[in-house]
Amino acid sequence: MSLNKDLINSLVKVTSRAAINCYQYLGKGDKKLADKAATDSMRNDLNNLKINGEVVIGEGELDEAPMLYIGEKLGKGNGPNLDIAVDPLEGTNFAAKNIPGAISVLAISDKGNLFNAPETYMNKIAVGKDVPFDATDLDYPIKKNISNIAEAKNKNLNELTVCILDRPRHKEIIEELKSLKVNLKLISDGDICGALLVTDNRYNIDLFLGIGGGPEGVISAAALDAYGCKFQGRFLFATDQDKSRAKKMGISDLNKKYELNEIVKGDSIFCATGITNTEMVAAVKKENTKFITETLVTHKESTIEIIKSEEPIA
């Protein structure tokens, strides 16, 4: 079993250090500098692990370095063969403005178990484990999904809350939800955090849906899998270049609707460290001679926990 406690501890350190390296750029208004700090840190730390890793979810292609790019090999090469999905700084605008919602995140699985996703949009839907599997579907009308969730949870429609990115492309969906008297949580960025709000009733989110990043969808799925949630996604290929890239990655059916177990096969580890505050994890704190971080860790086989870490200030 390559996905074990030692590897979890190593990965927590990777996302924690990436978050810490962002700290000096919080509120400085330069999202690219913050992103680069997190990326450089994550690349360096992953390369020091005894793994034979390959990035299957990254932030672009080879020519877009210094981003961690799809196909990049990571690790010392003398360990387990792993697929790696990374988003060193999810919520770059949040970090630049020092407002809630920025995290450093990665997901990892045995080779071949994480979907190799192109850098394109994905239409997504996620619900908690307390909703029957067949109650919701990406292809159902909005009203049917909402009504079925209300019935499953024994709630009125006006007691439900839907999380969705606040984008012009969602105008019609948002208007329909308003007409159904459903409550809305509109987020400006950060749809990994948005999707994870369905994992626990204390966040009061009954449904996450809408079009966001495909890579973020795959990373979210790794965590949602550990919680027993439902997730579906369909990639959206707007250009011929997108379609060509998808086919090179082995995607033959460009309209396919993916179930969670097709996106994340078998076991996986997910780590998300707070850079600024989120509903799930607290921001990086500087305290005397150390940094303190909080990381949400999910490992389908063993744990869902918040790990607090301390790192001395260099």
The CATH number for 205's domain is 3.40.190.90
Is residue 245 domain-shared with residue 273, that is, in the same domain? no
pLDDT at 273: 98
pLDDT at 300: 86
Report whether pLDDT(143) > 50. Answer: yes
Is residue 126 domain-shared with residue 251, that is, in the same domain? yes
pLDDT at 64: 54
Give the CA angle between residues 34, 52, 119 to the nearest 5°. 45
Cα 295 versus chain centre, distance: 13
Report whether pLDDT(86) > 50. Answer: yes
Is residue 304 domain-shared with residue 239, that is, in the same domain? no
Is residue 247 domain-shared with residue 289, that is, in the same domain? no
Is residue 138 domain-shared with residue 192, that is, in the same domain? yes
For the domain that residue 296 is a member of, what is the CATH number?
Answer: 3.30.540.10
Is residue 246 domain-shared with residue 216, that is, in the same domain? yes
Q: What is the mean pLDDT of residues 104-115?
A: 96
Q: What is the 3-state secondary structure (H, E, C) of the chain?
A: CCCCHHHHHHHHHHHHHHHHHHHHHCCCCCHHHHHHHHHHHHHHHHHCCCCEEEEEECCCCHHHCCCCCCCCEECCCCCCEEEEEEEEEECHHHHHHCCCCCEEEEEEEECCCECCCCCCEEEEEEECCCCCHHHCCCCCCHHHHHHHHHHHHCCCHHHCEEEEECCHHHHHHHHHHHHCCCEEEEECCCHHHHHHHHHCHHHCCCEEEEEEEHHHHHHHHHHHHHHCCEEEEEEECCCHHHHHHHHHCCCCCCCCCEEHHHHECCCCEEEEEECCCCCCCCCCEEECCEEEEEEEEEECCCEEEEEEEEEECC
Report whether pLDDT(60) > 90. Answer: no
Is residue 73 domain-shared with residue 145, that is, in the same domain? no
pLDDT at 62: 46
**Cα 292 to Cα 38: distance, rounded to the nearest angstrom:** 16
Is residue 142 domain-shared with residue 173, that is, in the same domain? yes
Q: Is 279 exposed, middle or buried, given 0-12, 13-18 or 19+ CB atoms closer than 10 A?
A: middle
Is residue 132 domain-shared with residue 46, that is, in the same domain? no
Q: What is the mean pLDDT of residues 95-121?
A: 93
Residue 222 exposure: Cα atoms within 13 Å on the Cβ side:
30
Output the six-digit token pair for 127: 């619900």
pTM for the model stands at: 0.95
The structural domain count of the chain equals 2
Digit-coded pLDDT (tens) for 224-266: 999 999 999 999 998 888 888 888 888 889 999 999 999 999 9
Report whether pLDDT(26) > 90. Answer: yes
**Cα 81 to Cα 165: distance, rounded to the nearest angstrom:** 35
Report whether pLDDT(128) > 80. Answer: yes
Digit-coded pLDDT (tens) for 176-222: 999 999 999 999 998 999 999 999 999 999 999 999 999 999 999 99
- Give the range among 62-66, 115-119, 159-163, 204-208 with minimum mean pLDDT: 62-66
Is residue 185 domain-shared with residue 305, that is, in the same domain? no
Provide the domain limits for residue 272. Answer: 5-112+268-312
Is residue 34 domain-shared with residue 105, that is, in the same domain? yes
Report whether pLDDT(313) > 50. Answer: yes
pLDDT at 66: 61
Position with higher pLDDT, 118 vs 31: 31
> What is the chain's mean pLDDT, rounded?
94
